[in-house]
Amino acid sequence: MLALHNVSRTYPNGVHALRGVTLHIGPGLFGLLGPNGAGKSSLMRTIATLQPMDAGSITMDGIDIFADVTSHRARLGYLPQDFGVYPGLSARMLLDHLALLKGLTDKASRRAQVDALLEQVNLWEHRHRAVSGFSGGMRQRFGIAQALLGDPRLLIVDEPTAGLDPAERSRFYNLLSAVGEQVVVILSTHIVEDVRQLCTHMAIMNRGQVVCEGVPDDLVGELEGRVFSRTMGRQETWTNTARGTPLSHTLHAGQTRLRLLADSAPDAQSTPTAATLEDVYFRAIGPVA
């Protein structure tokens, strides 16, 4: 169990990156959503002990992570948004090198783990190829392999599918789901519906705070029967705000499609529609035009 209590962080430039974040995260996939600048990456860097807190506490299995940073990092796997590689090194050589840096000093057991991980992420047949020449999806699978070195209890994955095509994204998430059966996995992503499909629990952050938390299906269920859509001309604006709260605006066939939250149809042109996790997201952070 990863437990955060009242975690706060203000950068030297005055930006309040984290404001009293409290979360309890158990084994499985935990989705972390929020707009750019919401504090997601700051939170993950803090959990990874790559930056300090100003206030609060973080424990993993009851142990303060900052009391013994070395021990915590030995139990941690981290795949940042930008994962660099050494040019020219093969997947097997680079993974072996990273395993050595992580403290796996016994050559035989290190090689056994390296080979097993390359098999697990479906890169065994590419083990002699340079990682720098991998496709985006292959590089992300290699990133998961390096994050799993040392059998971590906690895995942090930051925007792992940015730039991946749908097939690669699906393969990556299947791998991550299998990993999440054994460890705590924190997944930060901009793809809202992926969180509903993958994660047992989730939180939405905005301006350094947790503004929504729960089970994805339960959060969507709270909005069922209260979401309506209305189609308007591109130059038209909806002014009947006393009857409903706008959630989002999208373009469809040259017209604006407005999604609204209301207890009943706001007007004759509004029709009921199934709630989605995106509706939960926009309700938490505010509408986006």
Q: Please give the single-letter amino acid code of residue 42.
A: S
**Can you tell me which residue has the tokens 């030995």?**
74
User: Alpha-carbon distance 150 to 146, whole Å?
Assistant: 9
Q: What is the pTM of this model?
A: 0.88
Give phi and psi for 162, each to the nearest 5.
Answer: -60, 125
The domains of the chain are located at 2-219, 225-273
Q: What is the pLDDT of residue 288?
A: 60
Sign, CA dihedral 220-221-226-229, equals positive
Beta bridge partners of 92: none
Angle between helical axes of 166-179 and 136-147 (0-180°, round to 10): 10
By C-alpha distance, which of 35, 38, 69 is closest to 52? 69
What percent of the chain is modeled with pLDDT above 90? 58
Q: What is the pLDDT of residue 182?
A: 79
Note the CATH architecture for domain 2-219. Answer: 3-Layer(aba) Sandwich (3.40)
Question: How confident is the model over 56-112, as pLDDT tens digits?
Answer: 999 999 999 999 998 898 889 998 877 777 778 999 999 999 999 888 899 999 999
Mean pLDDT, all residues of the chain: 89
CB-CB contact of 28 with 200 (8 Å)? yes
B/e letters for 66-78, b = 16+ CB within 10 Å, e = fewer, are eeeeeebbebbbb
Question: How confident is the model over 35-49, as pLDDT tens digits?
Answer: 988 999 999 999 999
User: Alpha-carbon distance 262 to 279, whole Å?
Assistant: 12
